[in-house]
Protein backbone atom coordinates (compact mmCIF):
# COMPACT_ATOMS: atom_id res chain seq x y z
CA UNK A 1 0.00 0.00 0.00
CA UNK A 2 1.26 3.46 -0.86
CA UNK A 3 1.78 5.44 2.36
CA UNK A 4 3.91 8.37 1.16
CA UNK A 5 5.27 9.92 -2.01
CA UNK A 6 7.59 12.73 -2.96
CA UNK A 7 8.26 14.41 -6.30
CA UNK A 8 11.56 16.09 -7.17
CA UNK A 9 13.29 17.17 -10.39
CA UNK A 10 16.58 15.72 -11.59
CA UNK A 11 18.88 18.41 -13.04
CA UNK A 12 22.57 17.51 -12.55
CA UNK A 13 23.12 21.04 -11.23
CA UNK A 14 21.13 20.08 -8.15
CA UNK A 15 24.38 18.46 -6.93
CA UNK A 16 26.71 21.20 -5.63
CA UNK A 17 29.87 19.50 -6.89
CA UNK A 18 28.47 19.61 -10.41
CA UNK A 19 27.09 23.15 -10.15
CA UNK A 20 30.34 24.57 -8.76
CA UNK A 21 30.15 28.33 -8.29
CA UNK A 22 26.53 28.31 -9.48
CA UNK A 23 25.41 25.99 -6.66
CA UNK A 24 23.77 28.79 -4.62
CA UNK A 25 21.37 29.45 -7.51
CA UNK A 26 19.54 26.23 -6.62
CA UNK A 27 19.76 26.43 -2.84
CA UNK A 28 16.00 26.90 -2.52
CA UNK A 29 15.25 23.97 -4.82
CA UNK A 30 17.78 21.76 -3.06
CA UNK A 31 16.23 22.55 0.33
CA UNK A 32 12.74 21.87 -1.02
CA UNK A 33 13.83 18.50 -2.39
CA UNK A 34 15.27 17.45 0.95
CA UNK A 35 12.07 18.64 2.64
CA UNK A 36 10.02 16.52 0.23
CA UNK A 37 12.16 13.38 0.36
CA UNK A 38 13.00 13.39 4.07
CA UNK A 39 9.49 12.56 5.34
CA UNK A 40 9.44 9.40 3.22
CA UNK A 41 11.54 7.78 5.93
CA UNK A 42 9.15 9.03 8.63
CA UNK A 43 6.42 6.93 6.97
CA UNK A 44 8.35 3.76 7.98
CA UNK A 45 8.13 2.14 4.53
CA UNK A 46 8.97 -1.50 4.01
CA UNK A 47 10.10 -0.55 0.52
CA UNK A 48 11.14 2.82 -0.85
CA UNK A 49 11.03 2.83 -4.64
CA UNK A 50 12.73 5.52 -6.70
CA UNK A 51 11.05 6.10 -10.06
CA UNK A 52 12.42 8.20 -12.88
CA UNK A 53 12.44 8.59 -16.63
CA UNK A 54 15.08 6.99 -18.85
CA UNK A 55 15.56 5.94 -22.45
CA UNK A 56 14.21 2.46 -21.67
CA UNK A 57 12.16 0.87 -18.91
CA UNK A 58 14.25 -1.21 -16.50
CA UNK A 59 14.46 -2.31 -12.87
CA UNK A 60 17.60 -2.06 -10.74
CA UNK A 61 18.50 -3.54 -7.35
CA UNK A 62 18.76 -1.53 -4.16
CA UNK A 63 22.57 -1.37 -4.30
CA UNK A 64 22.63 0.02 -7.86
CA UNK A 65 24.94 2.97 -8.35
CA UNK A 66 25.13 5.98 -10.62
CA UNK A 67 27.65 8.61 -11.64
CA UNK A 68 27.43 12.23 -12.74
CA UNK A 69 30.70 12.06 -14.66
CA UNK A 70 29.01 12.91 -18.00
CA UNK A 71 28.01 16.27 -16.49
CA UNK A 72 31.32 17.13 -14.82
CA UNK A 73 32.88 15.76 -11.61
CA UNK A 74 32.74 12.01 -11.06
CA UNK A 75 30.22 12.17 -8.23
CA UNK A 76 29.15 8.59 -7.48
CA UNK A 77 26.28 7.27 -5.38
CA UNK A 78 25.54 3.71 -4.37
CA UNK A 79 27.90 0.77 -3.78
CA UNK A 80 26.96 -1.42 -6.74
CA UNK A 81 27.40 -1.36 -10.50
CA UNK A 82 27.13 2.00 -12.27
CA UNK A 83 23.85 1.35 -14.03
CA UNK A 84 21.43 4.08 -12.87
CA UNK A 85 20.25 6.69 -15.39
CA UNK A 86 20.42 10.38 -14.47
CA UNK A 87 16.99 10.61 -12.87
CA UNK A 88 17.62 7.69 -10.53
CA UNK A 89 21.17 8.82 -9.80
CA UNK A 90 19.85 12.17 -8.58
CA UNK A 91 17.15 10.36 -6.62
CA UNK A 92 19.73 8.18 -4.88
CA UNK A 93 21.87 11.23 -4.16
CA UNK A 94 18.92 12.95 -2.48
CA UNK A 95 18.10 9.93 -0.35
CA UNK A 96 21.69 9.43 0.74
CA UNK A 97 21.55 12.98 2.08
CA UNK A 98 18.55 12.18 4.29
CA UNK A 99 20.09 9.47 6.48
CA UNK A 100 19.64 5.72 6.93
CA UNK A 101 17.68 4.13 4.08
CA UNK A 102 15.06 1.36 4.12
CA UNK A 103 14.92 -1.36 1.49
CA UNK A 104 15.37 0.35 -1.86
CA UNK A 105 14.41 -0.48 -5.40
CA UNK A 106 14.94 1.59 -8.52
CA UNK A 107 12.54 1.72 -11.44
CA UNK A 108 13.37 3.47 -14.71
CA UNK A 109 10.39 4.12 -16.96
CA UNK A 110 10.84 4.92 -20.63
CA UNK A 111 10.23 8.57 -21.46
CA UNK A 112 7.80 7.47 -24.19
CA UNK A 113 6.16 4.63 -22.23
CA UNK A 114 2.37 4.54 -22.83
CA UNK A 115 0.20 5.86 -19.99
CA UNK A 116 -1.30 2.42 -19.35
CA UNK A 117 2.13 0.89 -18.92
CA UNK A 118 3.15 3.65 -16.51
CA UNK A 119 -0.03 3.25 -14.46
CA UNK A 120 0.41 -0.52 -14.31
CA UNK A 121 3.94 -0.11 -12.98
CA UNK A 122 2.62 2.24 -10.32
CA UNK A 123 -0.02 -0.27 -9.26
CA UNK A 124 2.59 -3.04 -9.01
CA UNK A 125 4.82 -0.87 -6.87
CA UNK A 126 1.97 0.16 -4.58
CA UNK A 127 1.09 -3.48 -3.89
CA UNK A 128 4.67 -4.77 -3.59
CA UNK A 129 4.80 -4.44 0.22
CA UNK A 130 2.52 -3.53 3.14
CA UNK A 131 3.99 -0.03 3.32
CA UNK A 132 5.42 1.53 0.16
CA UNK A 133 6.92 4.98 -0.35
CA UNK A 134 7.78 6.47 -3.73
CA UNK A 135 10.34 9.07 -4.68
CA UNK A 136 9.32 10.21 -8.16
CA UNK A 137 11.92 12.09 -10.18
CA UNK A 138 10.55 14.21 -13.02
CA UNK A 139 10.79 17.61 -14.69
CA UNK A 140 8.09 19.74 -16.24
CA UNK A 141 8.28 21.58 -19.55
CA UNK A 142 11.74 22.49 -20.83
CA UNK A 143 10.25 25.29 -22.98
CA UNK A 144 9.42 27.93 -20.38
CA UNK A 145 11.78 30.73 -21.51
CA UNK A 146 13.91 31.78 -24.46
CA UNK A 147 16.97 30.26 -22.75
CA UNK A 148 15.27 26.92 -22.10
CA UNK A 149 16.62 23.78 -23.81
CA UNK A 150 13.58 23.67 -26.11
CA UNK A 151 13.20 27.43 -26.53
CA UNK A 152 9.95 29.13 -25.51
CA UNK A 153 6.53 27.60 -26.21
CA UNK A 154 3.22 29.36 -25.43
CA UNK A 155 1.79 26.20 -23.91
CA UNK A 156 4.66 25.58 -21.51
CA UNK A 157 3.41 27.65 -18.58
CA UNK A 158 -0.18 26.34 -18.77
CA UNK A 159 1.18 22.79 -18.96
CA UNK A 160 3.29 23.27 -15.85
CA UNK A 161 0.43 25.00 -14.05
CA UNK A 162 -1.63 21.85 -14.57
CA UNK A 163 1.19 19.74 -13.14
CA UNK A 164 1.68 22.04 -10.18
CA UNK A 165 -2.02 21.97 -9.39
CA UNK A 166 -2.12 18.17 -9.48
CA UNK A 167 0.95 17.85 -7.25
CA UNK A 168 -0.35 20.43 -4.80
CA UNK A 169 -3.74 18.73 -4.43
CA UNK A 170 -2.75 15.07 -4.69
CA UNK A 171 -4.75 14.62 -7.90
CA UNK A 172 -3.74 11.20 -9.23
CA UNK A 173 -6.40 11.33 -11.94
CA UNK A 174 -4.90 14.47 -13.45
CA UNK A 175 -1.48 12.82 -13.62
CA UNK A 176 -2.94 9.73 -15.27
CA UNK A 177 -4.60 11.96 -17.87
CA UNK A 178 -1.39 13.61 -19.08
CA UNK A 179 -1.11 13.40 -22.87
CA UNK A 180 2.15 11.85 -24.13
CA UNK A 181 2.04 13.88 -27.34
CA UNK A 182 1.61 17.14 -25.45
CA UNK A 183 4.40 16.17 -23.07
CA UNK A 184 6.67 15.45 -26.02
CA UNK A 185 5.86 18.83 -27.57
CA UNK A 186 6.59 20.54 -24.25
CA UNK A 187 9.84 18.60 -23.72
CA UNK A 188 8.39 17.45 -20.38
CA UNK A 189 10.69 14.65 -19.27
CA UNK A 190 8.67 13.76 -16.18
CA UNK A 191 5.39 12.71 -17.81
CA UNK A 192 5.93 8.95 -17.59
CA UNK A 193 7.26 9.05 -14.02
CA UNK A 194 4.36 11.24 -12.92
CA UNK A 195 1.94 8.71 -14.40
CA UNK A 196 3.60 5.94 -12.40
CA UNK A 197 2.74 7.99 -9.31
CA UNK A 198 -0.79 8.39 -10.61
CA UNK A 199 -1.12 4.63 -11.03
CA UNK A 200 0.27 3.96 -7.56
CA UNK A 201 -2.29 6.31 -6.00
CA UNK A 202 -5.19 5.30 -8.27
CA UNK A 203 -8.14 3.93 -6.34
CA UNK A 204 -6.75 5.00 -2.98
CA UNK A 205 -8.33 7.78 -0.93
CA UNK A 206 -6.88 11.23 -1.64
CA UNK A 207 -3.72 11.92 0.35
CA UNK A 208 -4.41 13.09 3.88
CA UNK A 209 -1.76 15.75 3.25
CA UNK A 210 -0.34 17.12 0.01
CA UNK A 211 1.99 20.06 -0.34
CA UNK A 212 3.79 21.76 -3.22
CA UNK A 213 7.10 22.97 -1.83
CA UNK A 214 8.67 24.35 -5.00
CA UNK A 215 7.33 25.51 -8.37
CA UNK A 216 9.69 27.52 -10.56
CA UNK A 217 11.75 27.40 -13.75
CA UNK A 218 15.20 28.80 -12.91
CA UNK A 219 16.74 27.59 -16.19
CA UNK A 220 13.60 27.63 -18.30
CA UNK A 221 12.65 24.11 -17.13
CA UNK A 222 9.71 23.51 -14.81
CA UNK A 223 10.92 22.08 -11.50
CA UNK A 224 8.59 20.92 -8.73
CA UNK A 225 9.08 19.52 -5.26
CA UNK A 226 6.02 18.03 -3.58
CA UNK A 227 5.06 15.54 -0.93
CA UNK A 228 1.98 13.38 -0.38
CA UNK A 229 1.11 11.41 2.76
CA UNK A 230 -1.72 9.04 3.70
- Is residue 201 in a domain? yes
Is the distance from CB of 145 to CB of 217 less than 8 angstroms?
yes
- Residue 103: predicted pLDDT: 81
Buried b or exposed e, range 93-121, using 16+ CB within 10 angstroms: bbbeeeeeebebbbbbbebebebebbbeb
| 118 in a structural domain | yes
| pLDDT given for residue 101 in this prediction | 74
Q: Which residues, other chains included, contact 138 with Cβ-Cβ below 8 Å and sequence gap of 6+?
A: 7, 9, 10, 52, 53, 87, 189, 190, 191, 192, 193, 194
Q: Which residue ranges in the chain fall short of pLDDT 70?
A: 99-100
At 114 the pLDDT is 98
User: Over the stretch 29-80, which tens digit does the pLDDT of each residue have?
Assistant: 999 999 999 999 999 999 999 999 999 999 999 999 999 999 999 999 999 9
What is the model's pLDDT at position 100?
Answer: 58
Distance CA 124, CA 72 (A): 36
- CATH code of residue 196: 3.40.830.10
- Judge whether 230 lies within some domain: no
Q: Tell me how many domains the chain contains.
A: 1
Q: What is the pLDDT of residue 98?
A: 77
pTM above 0.95, yes or no: yes
Report the pLDDT value the prediction gives residue 228, as an integer from 0 to 100. Answer: 98
Task: Tell me if 211 is assigned to some domain.
Answer: yes
Kindly state whether residue 228 falls inside one of the protein's structural domains: no
- In a domain, residue 229? The reply is no
Rounded percentage of the chain residues whose pLDDT exceeds 90: 94
Residue 217 covered by a domain? yes
Range of the domain at 62: 2-223
Amino acid sequence: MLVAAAVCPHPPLLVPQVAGAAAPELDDLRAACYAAAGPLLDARPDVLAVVGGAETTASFPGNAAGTLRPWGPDVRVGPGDLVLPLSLTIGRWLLEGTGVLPVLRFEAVGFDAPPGECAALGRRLATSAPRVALLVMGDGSARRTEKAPGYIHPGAVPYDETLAGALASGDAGCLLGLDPDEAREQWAAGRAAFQVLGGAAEGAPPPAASELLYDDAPYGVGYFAARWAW
